[in-house]
Amino acid sequence: MSMIEHFLMESPLGTLTLVNTNGVLSGLYMPDHLRGPKAHSLGSRTTTGFDVVRSQLDEYFERKRVHFEVPILLHGTAFQQSVWKLLQPIPYGETRSYGELADLLGNHLAIRAVGLANGRNPVSIIIPCHRVVGSNGSLTGYAGGLERKRRLLELEATDLTLQKQFSLS
């Protein structure tokens, strides 16, 4: 039987819900997360643990960390798992299009399926689904909300050109 618990962490994006299954990170959700888990599936709330994840997220939000080194446990279909695996190596500050990911899977027609799998990523930020954009660079769908996607991309932008590209102003 799995031991599931969750922790609420304050962040620049609002209160994040961190979930672990048997001590391994299995979820990271934002407030009003589309297709997020039901409250009863989060397990009991804890006020301890999650130290490594919290520390790395804090460093990320302070622009002191560009990749995460935490074990994760992902529950999803084989196709979702294949998409999530392609997301993980997208470098900090870079983006890929849904079409590029579909091509990497060997089926350019799978763009919509890639988008759906991307939107069901259970470990936001750490698996950087926010780094996937439309073929023209537009910000499209994000389970945490487009405003948060824009803020994450702005946070990661290393030059002013990119920061302006993702700015809504």
CB neighbour burial string for 43-81, b if at least 16 within 10 angstroms, e if fewer: beeeeeebeebbebbeebeeeeeeebebebbbeeeeebe
Domain count of the chain? Answer: 2
Q: What is the pLDDT of residues 20-66, one digit of tens each?
A: 999 999 999 998 888 778 888 898 999 888 999 999 999 999 999 99
Here the CATH number for the domain that contains residue 37 is 3.30.160
Do 50 and 102 fall within a single domain? Answer: no
Domain that holds residue 36: 4-61
Q: What is the pLDDT of residues 83-137, one digit of tens each?
A: 999 999 999 999 999 999 999 999 989 999 999 999 999 999 999 999 999 888 8
Residue 108 located in a structural domain: yes
**92 φ/ψ angles, rounded to the nearest 5 degrees:** -50, 135
| Calpha distance 85→83 (Å, rounded) | 5
Do 102 and 37 fall within a single domain? Answer: no
Region 137-151: mean pLDDT is 85
Which residues are annotated as catalytic?
Answer: 129
- Reading the block at residue 141, the tokens are 């769908």
Do 13 and 91 fall within a single domain? Answer: no
